[in-house]
Amino acid sequence: AQSVTQLDSHVSVSEGTPVLLRCNYSSSYSPSLFWYVQHPNKGLQLLLKYTSAATLVKGINGFEAEFKKSETSFHLTKPSAHMSDAAEYFCVVSDAGNMLTFGGGTRLMVKP
Amino acid sequence: SQTIHQWPATLVQPVGSPLSLECTVEGTSNPNLYWYRQAAGRGLQLLFYSVGIGQISSEVPQNLSASRPQDRQFILSSKKLLLSDSGFYLCAWSVSWRNTEAFFGQGTRLTVV
């Protein structure tokens, strides 16, 4: 069985400061991992994905995430937050023969 | 390129009325299709998935049902809506079964009154 835990339900940062959204996963196989972003009343947009290639993955809008197998983590980071980054973020895991499993989400708030 | 269409965007329905939400995918063949629900302040819950025409798997027991009458069409239905059916419904598709991302529609905000 696989599971995803997003360690913070809410994160608040000031504009221009770094963003860190934490995600830990559990999987029986070598997983694929994804981060999605959801703006209010919108669908989910894929930010980035890890599929067993480079452990540091770069995504859209300046986001990146690092796959750390020893820590079973896939934290999402961005060097400098922008007001438009305010949204809900979901960490997702997919392993062999299984469905996507979503974390509970982290709401990112960006203060001016 | 592939696109996914989901409609309507918003819907207000009385308790006990029927429901039909439709989702179609363009630009790909034999996609895996999914219906998710997102209740207020909660994460995504997988309701149904389909790997082919007429093949529907249900993840949670409820008064909703899904059908896949065509390869790229996925319909979510209910005969009688409950208040607890209110939420944000998302359709999604993926290319293959394993280790691949899903692509989401814009969602339907359903309010049962």
Q: Nearest residue on chain B to A42, judged by CA atoms?
A: B106
* A20 touches B: beta carbon within 8 Å: no
- For the segment A57-80, the average pLDDT, to the nearest whole number, is 95
Comparing CB atoms, the residue among B42, B46, B105 nearest residue A99 is: B46
Best to test chain B binding among A67, A99, A101 (most B CBs inside 10 Å): A99
Name the helix (H) or strand (E) containing A11.
strand A10-14
More confident residue, B1 or A46: A46
| Upstream peptide bond of B61 is cis (omega within 30 degrees of 0) | no
Which residues are paired to B104 by β-bridges? Answer: B92
Q: How far apart are CA B10 and CA B59, in angstroms?
A: 24
- Are B99 and A100 in contact (CB < 8 Å)? no
- Judge contact between B108 and B22, C-beta under 8 A: no
Indicate the average pLDDT of chain A.
Answer: 92
For residue A96, name the pLDDT band (cuts at 50, 70, 90): low
pLDDT value at A98 more than 90: no
Q: Nearest residue on chain A to B47, judged by CA atoms?
A: A99
pLDDT for position B78: 96
* A60 touches B: beta carbon within 8 Å: no
> Which residues from A are below 8 Å from B94, CB to CB?
100
pLDDT for position A18: 98
pLDDT value at B25 more than 90: yes
pLDDT value at B6 more than 70: yes
pLDDT value at B59 more than 90: no
> Which residues from B are below 8 Å from A5, CB to CB?
none
Q: What is the DSSP letter of B63?
A: S
- For the segment A87-105, the average pLDDT, to the nearest whole number, is 85
- Are B104 and A51 in contact (CB < 8 Å)? no
- For the segment A5-16, the average pLDDT, to the nearest whole number, is 96
pLDDT value at B96 more than 70: no
Segment among A31-45, B32-46, B67-81 with least mean pLDDT: B32-46
- Close Cβ partners of A20 (under 8 Å, ≥ 6 residues apart): A11, A75, A76, A77
- Residue recorded with tokens 């949670």: B60
pLDDT for position B97: 58
- Residue A49: C-alpha distances to residues A3, A75, A94, B67 (Å): 17, 12, 11, 30
Q: What are the residues of chain B with a beta carbon less than 8 Å away from any beta carbon of chain A?
A: 6, 42-44, 46, 49, 88, 90, 92, 94, 97-107, 109
